[in-house]
Structure 1
Amino acid sequence: MKRYHTYLFDFDYTLADSSKGIVICFRNVLERHRHTGISDEQIKRTIGKTLVDSFSILTGIGDEAILEEYRKEYVKEADRFMTANTRLFPETVSVLQALKEKGANIGIISTKYRYRIMELAKDTVPEGIIDLIVGGEDVKTAKPSPEGVFLALENLGTDKDTTLYIGDSIVDAETAQAAGMDFAGVLHGATTAEELEAYPHVAIMKDLTELL
């Protein structure tokens, strides 16, 4: 794999495993509203989508007002359970450090709220490694819209031709494609290699160490 000037990472299932916290939060909201028969795997398959889209997929509900109420309830649950139930993957910090030592820019592009990522990163990632976090509250259109990616490129003063986007899901592959930049998939999550290989990519990686 060639060397890039900038590396933009998805967060959930790319840099960190927050699936335990996500499942807890979704299940608390779903069960409160008597949505039963939804498996943990079904919940995990929605990771990377917006909360509204995830709840719509899981429940079949299309009413925007109901979905917005579910989203608000999820955020309250996440304030209690998310950070304590999120762990960086074993290689995350060492890979980010190695890329930074080579002079790369490091950014995170996520549908997760920026403050939630910062809450975890401040205690787990050495200061100065992450240059930029673009969270769900920073954009008008969520991934796979390239809005967050372009915002990151503008703020980092770099361009898409020297940037690699790394993610675990189809949403991430579509985001990179929409932005017109190189994509590398990582198999940390629920999306298979075959699913990711259907999209333009420079690599499908078992873990982040392959970036080095």
Structure 2
Amino acid sequence: MTETLPAAVLWDMDGTLVDTEPYWFLCQVELVESFGGTWSREDGDAMIGSGLWQSARVLQSHGVDLSEDEIIDRLTTAVLERAAVEIPWRPGARELLAELRREGVPTALVTMSIRRMAQFMVDAIEFEAFDAIVAGDDVEHAKPHPEAYLRGAALLGVDPADCIAIEDSTPGLASAVAAGTVAIGVEHHAPLADDGPYIRRDTLVGTTVGDLRELHRAGRAVRDQATSDS
């Protein structure tokens, strides 16, 4: 490995590896409406990247008369039922994962979905894609807290500062940046700021390990500049 190759790549799941956000939204609508409430696109978009327990409390405020754990379990089951019919992989994600594996770069999945959801997606990949999984029920603090990314790096035995984290949401990027990683934001359902302390990309299509070398170098400069300005 060259000096600029990341020690590991840490991946978000929903919206980054798989395009499950529409599934989550539809399941949220169905759940809220089953209790006589209404749920808008704006309501759903506001929860992208949030921890499930925080999201559950928001759903309770919209009239869902269930415990937080019951809400999470019901939503997870409903999303998995849709994923069992079709998993909407994000363009370029599995291709980049496959190349990382061929090059021997360690990888971890770092998601706020609970473990049974994460494991389902990992098991659906046709090769051994991840060395570790950090799920929402593995951590005390959800994104944007850095705990999940710090845990992912620790499980791989690497320094977060030497890692790349790939994310699609503002809370996820805040978590990755706070953990000290070089963060790459791939905009999808939720808009990302152009001037954040991360590298912004429109897609992973065509992204190679060689590109990650360059992004890691550029990202370290962005991260170090943000640190010096704070």
TM-score computed with the length of structure 2 as normaliser = 0.77
Query: Percent same amino acid among aligned pairs?
Result: 24
CA gap of 1:131–1:68, structure 2 versus 1, over 3 A, is closer
Query: Aligned partner of 1:23: which letter?
Result: F
Partners of 1:94 and 1:108 lie apart in 2 by 15
Task: Give unpaired runs (5+ residues) of structure 1.
Answer: none
Query: Aligned partner of 1:133: which letter?
Result: I
Query: Aligned partner of 1:192: which letter?
Result: P
Query: What is the match of residue 43 of structure 2?
Result: 42
Partners of 1:91 and 1:110 lie apart in 2 by 19
Query: Aligned partner of 2:175: which letter?
Result: T
* 3-state DSSP of counterpart to 1:87: coil
Query: Counterparts of 1:98-137 in structure 2 under 5 Å?
Result: 98-127=99-128, 129-137=129-137
Query: What is the match of residue 6 of structure 1?
Result: 8
* Superimposed CA distance per residue, residues 53-112 of structure 1 (whole angstroms, 9 cap, x where no aligned partner): 234446746999755553343244345334435311131111111122222111110100
CA gap of 1:105–1:64, structure 2 versus 1, over 3 A, is farther
CA gap of 1:157–1:66, structure 2 versus 1, over 3 A, is closer
CA gap of 1:176–1:154, structure 2 versus 1, over 3 A, is same
Query: Counterparts of 1:1-212 in structure 2 under 5 Å?
Result: 2-36=4-38, 38-57=39-58, 60=61, 67=68, 69-127=70-128, 129-187=129-187, 189-193=188-192, 195=193, 197-201=194-198, 203-208=199-204, 209-210=206-207, 212=211
Query: Aligned partner of 1:191: which letter?
Result: A
Task: Give unpaired runs (5+ residues) of structure 2.
Answer: 212-230
* Superimposed CA distance per residue, residues 27-58 of structure 1 (whole angstroms, 9 cap, x where no aligned partner): 1211011121x323531441221233234446
Does the 8 Å CA contact 2:52/2:113 hold for their aligned counterparts?
A: no
The farther-off stretch of 6-15 and 177-186 is 177-186
Q: How many residues align?
A: 205
Query: Aligned partner of 2:5: which letter?
Result: R
Partners of 1:183 and 1:176 lie apart in 2 by 6
Query: Aligned partner of 2:152: which letter?
Result: A
* 3-state DSSP of counterpart to 2:140: coil
TM-score computed with the length of structure 1 as normaliser = 0.83
Partners of 1:101 and 1:80 lie apart in 2 by 32
User: Pairwise CA RMSD of aligned residues?
Assistant: 2.6
Partners of 1:19 and 1:178 lie apart in 2 by 24
CA gap of 1:174–1:64, structure 2 versus 1, over 3 A, is farther
Q: CA deviation at 1:125?
A: 3.6
The farther-off stretch of 76-85 and 139-148 is 76-85
